[in-house]
Amino acid sequence: MKAKVVYRGKYLNFLEKDGWEFVERAGVSGVVAVVAVTEQGRLILIEQHRVPVNQKVIELPAGLAADMEAFQNESLKDAAHRELFEETGYEAESMELWTEGPLNPGISTHQLTVFRARGLKKTGPGGGDATEDISIHEITLAEVPAWLEACRAQGKGVDPKVYAALFLLAAERQK
């Protein structure tokens, strides 16, 4: 049985299938996140206020692919490059596909694709597009866990994908 559209919003469609309610993003080909570490060993994280949880959240640079008319034919890799630059001001020499899978499978159709950025060069201010107010943080890998705890103590949220990135970075170093 195909999912039935219950409601169409500007950015989200609400669906029902077999008694299960869930959402999908309208007009988006995917969701990307970027794990970026500078040559000095600093993990690049962003911070922004998230309305649904009413708090500032520490996150990986991330965003939507093909979400605007200008990016209709954008690949996930191109979206990762674009989002990294928009949010942090960094350009990457390369984007390596690290992993992909369902982002929140109990409520959403979103599939997340995580890229590892390499060969970083700061060429812009970052901070997001006109609809965003993003702060950029560069934290030495060894200091990230304590820094995240300090952020949580200040009442900020920490996206669990940041902890997943630390796990993947540790695995990368052990190879």
- Is-above-0.85 flag for pTM? yes
Residue 108 DSSP code? B
Quote the pLDDT of residue 79.
96
Residue 64 DSSP code? E
Task: For the chain, give the mean pLDDT.
Answer: 95
CA atoms of 55 and 108, how far apart (whole Å): 21
Long-range contacts of 150-159 (CB under 8 A, 24+ apart): 151/47, 151/58, 155/55, 156/47, 156/55, 156/56, 156/57, 156/58, 157/50, 157/53, 157/55, 157/56, 157/57, 157/58, 158/57, 158/58, 159/57, 159/58, 159/59, 159/60
Mean pLDDT across the stretch 122-151? Answer: 96
Q: Is residue 64's pLDDT more than 80? A: yes
pLDDT band at 175 (very low <50, low <70, confident <90, very high): confident
Q: Is residue 68's pLDDT more than 80? A: no
Quote the pLDDT of residue 27.
87
Q: Is residue 143's pLDDT more than 90? A: yes
Q: Which two tokens stand for residue 58?
A: 């520490």
CB 81 within 8 A of CB 95: yes
pLDDT per residue as tens digits for the range 71-86: 778 999 999 999 999 9
- Topology (CATH) of 28-174: Nucleoside Triphosphate Pyrophosphohydrolase (3.90.79)
Mean pLDDT across the stretch 123-146? Answer: 95
Q: Is residue 1's pLDDT more than 80? A: no
CA 36 distance to own-chain centroid? 11
Q: What proportion of the chain, given as a percentage, has pLDDT over 90?
A: 89
Q: Is residue 14's pLDDT more than 90? A: yes
pLDDT per residue as tens digits for the range 36-47: 999 999 999 999
Per domain, the residue ranges of the chain are: 28-174
Q: Is residue 69's pLDDT more than 80? A: no
Q: Which two tokens stand for residue 95?
A: 């984007």
